[in-house]
């Protein structure tokens, strides 16, 4: 099974989003930008697969209640992709973080060929280094974090900036991962 996990609750009482020159968006993007990217991929019509689950979780800011609920349903053979914002400054459109499994890295290289992303085995995000991947890793080895880069402050505390192209690129990356999953399983062994 391929599971895409994204927390959907928010610590902000309201959300305002403004567009800026150069394809930038400004607002309270944590728990907002990643849900948009996942839903954009889902409603593209390119992800209708029987082996795919999309989990929009709650409780990320407190006790990972949603991720812990999902964890109980996972098998050690499942692959989990966590989508969230990241504070890593990069010229690339997105990041792959917390990807320690070499077979998962080979699979992602195959699925994301030609895309502009930064890869990290660990989590160099200066704002937060704990997320759902830490929960899912208790049962599954094939877990990674796909990050939408945000700049201009602490994404947990207030408005930040991200590129619209980053949201689009993450959406495309998810579609490619889903499309590659059935035939790319040999990369995961």
Q: What's residue 157's pLDDT?
A: 87
- Residue 47 DSSP SS3: coil
pLDDT in tens, 156-184: 888 999 999 999 999 999 999 999 997 76
In the chain, the number of structural domains is 1
Supply the range of the domain harboring residue 44.
2-188
What CATH number corresponds to the domain at position 29? Answer: 3.40.630.10
Q: Give the whole-angstrom CA distance, residue 24 versus residue 166.
A: 10
Token output for 16: 């305002």
The mean pLDDT value for 5-23 works out to 79
pLDDT in tens, 35-66: 999 999 999 999 878 899 999 999 877 789 99
């Amino acid at each position: 099974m391929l599971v895409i996990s994204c927390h959907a609750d928010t610590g902000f009482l309201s959300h305002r989003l403004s567009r800026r020159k150069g394809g930038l968006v400004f607002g309270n993007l944590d728990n907002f930008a990643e849900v948009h990217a996942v839903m954009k991929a889902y409603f593209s019509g390119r992800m209708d697969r029987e082996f795919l689950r999309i989990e929009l979780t709650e409780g990320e800011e407190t006790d990972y209640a949603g991720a812990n609920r999902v964890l109980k349903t996972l098998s050690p053979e499942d692959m989990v992709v966590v989508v969230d914002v990241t504070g890593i400054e990069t010229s690339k459109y997105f990041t792959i973080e917390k990807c320690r499994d070499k077979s998962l890295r080979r699979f992602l290289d195959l699925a994301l060929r030609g895309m502009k992303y930064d890869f990290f085995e660990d989590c160099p995000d200066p704002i937060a280094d704990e997320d759902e991947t830490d929960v899912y890793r208790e049962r599954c080895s094939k877990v990674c974090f796909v990050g939408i880069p945000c700049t201009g402050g602490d994404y947990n505390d207030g408005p930040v900036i991200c590129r619209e192209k980053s949201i689009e690129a993450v959406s495309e990356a998810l579609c490619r991962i889903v499309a590659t999953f059935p035939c790319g399983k040999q990369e995961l062994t």
